[in-house]
Structure 1
Amino acid sequence: MTWDLAFKLLALFAMIAIGWLATRRGMLGGAEGQRAMAGAAFGIFVPALLFRTMAALDLSQLPGQLLLAFFGPLMLWALAVWGWERRRADRHVDPDAHPADAAVRSVALTFGNTVQVGLPFAAALFGQAGLQIHLAIVALHALVILSLITVLAEIDLARAAARQGEGAALGPMLLGIVRQSLLHPVVLPVLLGMGWRLTGLTLHPVADQMLLTLGQAGVPLCLILIGASLAQHGLSPDPRALLGRVLLKLLLLPAVVAAAGWWLFGLRGLPLSVLVMAAALPIGSNALLFAQRYRTREGEASAVIVVSSVLFAFSAPLWLAVLAWLS
């Protein structure tokens, strides 16, 4: 763990603490105020960041094999977590359960903090060559993971509506799932940004600066919301289950990526190290935004973000030692 990364983590915790304190002092307007802030983050700031990123992204320059070696296992992992949580929900009927619970937990156990923690970590440990690989992951991270899990969430919502007799026939239901997925505030700006890139046009400097400023505002707002959610919901009614989920993200997911990279794709050295450490990152703030989008498991999402960020200080050196041994 480098000092630079340690300071970055402390800065994250400080902003989360500000959100917690502001909520305890009644400065954020209670639950409705937090939902309004989350709506702004998920409806304005994050879409601006995603559109600008995709509008400037040259897909032809991305390392295709390395991205497949990373996102292939991650997508299978996300599907496995979603399937497991859905099966548990079907077996144990919970009157307080929400149809999107499985998707929300899938995001939390898959989506890493590739920007606030991942960028300085990759730059400090792997240099320019490693940072370029990590930036390629960042460019597609939200597109691949959040788009997939958004579709899963919409499928579960449609399934729940059908069970209650409120659903439409199969054809209209599928069209509804597709429409809700495409109009999602994560998927739509990504698709629009890709469409803009395909036109060959560049963003006007005024538009580019506006999108940059909006995107930068989303990061501190997300951290404030994590602290606010912790103040409202607390850590977790079941700390053992919380810790188990965090350890799955910090230990088992990177092991899956390492095994796939080593045996299926034949990766060694720097590329393997960058991919494994990207998978080993703590849970990103989009897990909370996703939970707030569907209004379920918000306290749990906040808790796993904070706990995983703390434990990353211990799991990161462990993975670096494993990677050094593999090399």
Structure 2
Amino acid sequence: MTAVAGPLRRSHESPVNSPVVASLVPVVLFIAIGYVVGLRGWIRAGSVKDLSNLVFMVLTPALLFRTMGQVRIEDLDFGPIGVYFAAAGLVFAGTMLRQGFSSLAAARALANTFSNTIMIGVPLVGLAFGQQGLVTLFTLISVHALILLTAATVVFELAVAREKAGQPDHVALPLWRTVLQAVRNGIVHPVPLPIIAGLLFAQTGLPIPDVIDKPLQLLGQALGPLALLLVGVTLAFTKVGGFFKAALQIALVKNIAMPLVLAALGWALGLSGLSLAVMIVAASLPVGANVFLFAQRYEVAQDEVTASVAVSTALGLATTPVVLWAVTRWVA
């Protein structure tokens, strides 16, 4: 994926030629092309998982390692990332308080806070903010799933134990074992591992040899277009049906309320600049697919979560441009 030269800046150019529009047009176009491809049946539904594996197992690790392999740890800014998780915690807790402590509420709370940082976030941030923005996003991604999914696992397990308490055939596993397994799965994963490996390599001060760097560069450049095409294909095969209202409620919280909470926290703490701008954009991204895996695992709200991924992605075509425009004017 080729990024624009440098982050977005305020501009007095016409809207058509603005950096925001230039960054968003490829995103919308590739998703639209993927949607048409899915509707036409040029890619079968059964092939979507294989393409997804290609993105996550090959292209994503290549881009993550190559980018983070040039970053010194002392140059990373963890302040906005802390604000990101504080905002996610507030939205998650607010959802649980409003809907009660149950596995259904936990599924909705995770959908309200877990962003599609890879398939949409990486291409969008790369186009909008360049290499520096990607470093900030990858710093978030390195702990995004680990922190949110581990916390969600604890909540899910406690909720399920509460719901099944008293049932004669229920055998509860020790919570520590479940949490330990969640932490392990969060680290031994094709997203955090190449980030950690790249950072460790970068601390040696050695350049990546050209014979390795060039293939990594080519693989990384393929990630953005293929990931966005895959988002469109997935939308074509997703049936929203009778879950539209519930899915829309989740989408409104995820795409609008989550970035607003983050922006308010950042403003209250006096933060600004590129790192905070990337965090706000990341918070505005649609619901990530990992939420469905949790719904499937705990057998709760599977159809509703699937619909929310589709609805929030479609809504994001309207809301994310607004967020991106706003942060380039008042934050970055």
TM-score, normalising length: structure 2: 0.72
Structural RMSD (CA): 3.8
Equivalent AA in structure 2 for residue 150 of structure 1: L
- Alpha-carbon distance between aligned partners in 2 of 1:254 and 1:193, rounded to the nearest angstrom: 29
Match of 1:108, SS? coil
Deviation at 1:74, TM superposition (A): 0.8
Instruction: State percent identity of aligned pairs.
Output: 24
- Alpha-carbon distance between aligned partners in 2 of 1:93 and 1:150, rounded to the nearest angstrom: 14
Summarize the alignment of residues 114-153 of structure 1 with structure 2, pairs less than 5 Å apart: 115-122=122-129, 132=132, 134-153=133-152
- Alpha-carbon distance between aligned partners in 2 of 1:305 and 1:180, rounded to the nearest angstrom: 26
Q: Report what 1:54 is aligned to.
A: 68
Match of 2:39 among 1, 24, 40: 24
- Alpha-carbon distance between aligned partners in 1 of 2:307 and 2:215, rounded to the nearest angstrom: 32
Deviation at 1:232, TM superposition (A): 1.1
Q: Residues 35-78 of structure 1: CA distance to partner in whole angstroms, max 9, x if unpaired? A: 1111221222212222222222112223x4xx40x212210122
Q: Report what 1:185 is aligned to.
A: 190
Match of 2:58, SS? helix
Equivalent AA in structure 1 for residue 276 of structure 2: L
Equivalent AA in structure 1 for residue 203 of structure 2: L
TM-score, normalising length: structure 1: 0.73
Deviation at 1:318, TM superposition (A): 5.6
Deviation at 1:247, TM superposition (A): 4.2
8 Å Cα contact 2:87/2:262 also seen in 1:
no
8 Å Cα contact 1:108/1:301 also seen in 2:
no
Equivalent AA in structure 1 for residue 200 of structure 2: G
- Alpha-carbon distance between aligned partners in 1 of 2:54 and 2:158, rounded to the nearest angstrom: 28
Q: Report what 2:311 is aligned to.
A: 303
Q: Which moved more, 1:174-183 or 1:245-254?
A: 245-254
Deviation at 1:279, TM superposition (A): 0.4
| Paired positions, count | 303
Q: Are residues 216 and 272 of structure 1, via their aligned partners in 2, closer, same or farther at CA, if it must alter by over 3 Å?
A: closer
- Alpha-carbon distance between aligned partners in 1 of 2:36 and 2:266, rounded to the nearest angstrom: 43
8 Å Cα contact 2:35/2:235 also seen in 1:
yes
Q: Are residues 13 and 147 of structure 1, via their aligned partners in 2, closer, same or farther at CA, if it must alter by over 3 Å?
A: same
Q: Are residues 247 and 173 of structure 1, via their aligned partners in 2, closer, same or farther at CA, if it must alter by over 3 Å?
A: closer
- Alpha-carbon distance between aligned partners in 2 of 1:207 and 1:174, rounded to the nearest angstrom: 37
Q: Report what 1:215 is aligned to.
A: 220
Q: Residues 98-118 of structure 1: CA distance to partner in whole angstroms, max 9, x if unpaired? A: x86643442139899554334
8 Å Cα contact 2:115/2:283 also seen in 1:
no
Q: Are residues 275 and 209 of structure 1, via their aligned partners in 2, closer, same or farther at CA, if it must alter by over 3 Å?
A: same
Equivalent AA in structure 2 for residue 8 of structure 1: S
Residue segments in structure 1 that go unaligned for 5+ positions in a row: 124-130
Q: Report what 1:107 is aligned to.
A: 114
8 Å Cα contact 1:103/1:152 also seen in 2:
no
8 Å Cα contact 1:282/1:308 also seen in 2:
no
